[in-house]
Amino acid sequence: AWGGRVARARVSAGRIVASSVEQSYIMIKPDGVQRGLVGEIISRFENKGFLLKGLKLFQCPKDLAQEHYKDLKDKPFFPKLIEYITSGPVVCMAWEGDGVVASARKLIGATNPLQAEPGTIRGDLAVQTGRNVVHGSDSPDNGKREVTLWFKEGELCQWESVQTPWLIE
């Protein structure tokens, strides 16, 4: 019985590394890095049980920040947002798993940290919209777009976690 369980788990682990599996681009913003919250924020996603596919500390150039936030380019806060995101290193992450995009948004909490629920990253660790410590993709399509935008192909790892059979039946 045990052997069968492990074999089935490997199949599901095989499925989870396939490129068709949902990915979310999660980024610790410069305030999160400066405030020493990198370990704390990564732990929230690690502890939840998603699979880490890519991770790097990165100084974001202005044109990449503008491309990432292009849907907000007409907002009055856009110039300040670009200045903020490029003001110091960010931590770029690709996390994978069924439902990761919506779940990560829940873990992150509302855009305005004063409205974010306690227990969420922004609810626990931030006070202002302009310094809300973390980004998470808002749809599976944007998850793919943003992971591709921020990571080169060789920067993502194809691997299976030994925890998978204990997370996914």
Active site residues: 135
Q: How far is the CB of 160 from ligand ADP (least distance, A)?
A: 30
State the amino acid at position 36 in one-letter form.
G
CB of 81 to ligand ADP, least distance (A): 5
111 is in an annotated binding site: yes
> Is residue 132 annotated as involved in ligand binding?
yes
Question: Site residues (CB under 6 A) for ligand ADP?
Answer: 72, 77, 81, 111, 129-130, 132, 135, 138
DSSP structural state of residue 117: P
| Residue 144, annotated as binding a ligand | no
Beta pairing partners, 126: none
Tell me how far apart the alpha carbons of residues 165 and 49 are, in angstroms, rounded to a whole number: 11
> Starting at the edge strand that comes first in sequence, how are the strands of the sheet with 134-136 ordered?
51-58, 90-96, 23-28, 134-136
In whole angstroms, how close is the CB of 130 to ligand ADP at the nearest point? 4
Measured from the CB atom, the residue of 77 and 159 that comes closer to ligand ADP is 77
Q: Are 89 and 34 in contact (CB under 8 A)?
A: no
- Which residues line the annotated binding site for ATP? 29, 77, 105, 111, 122, 132
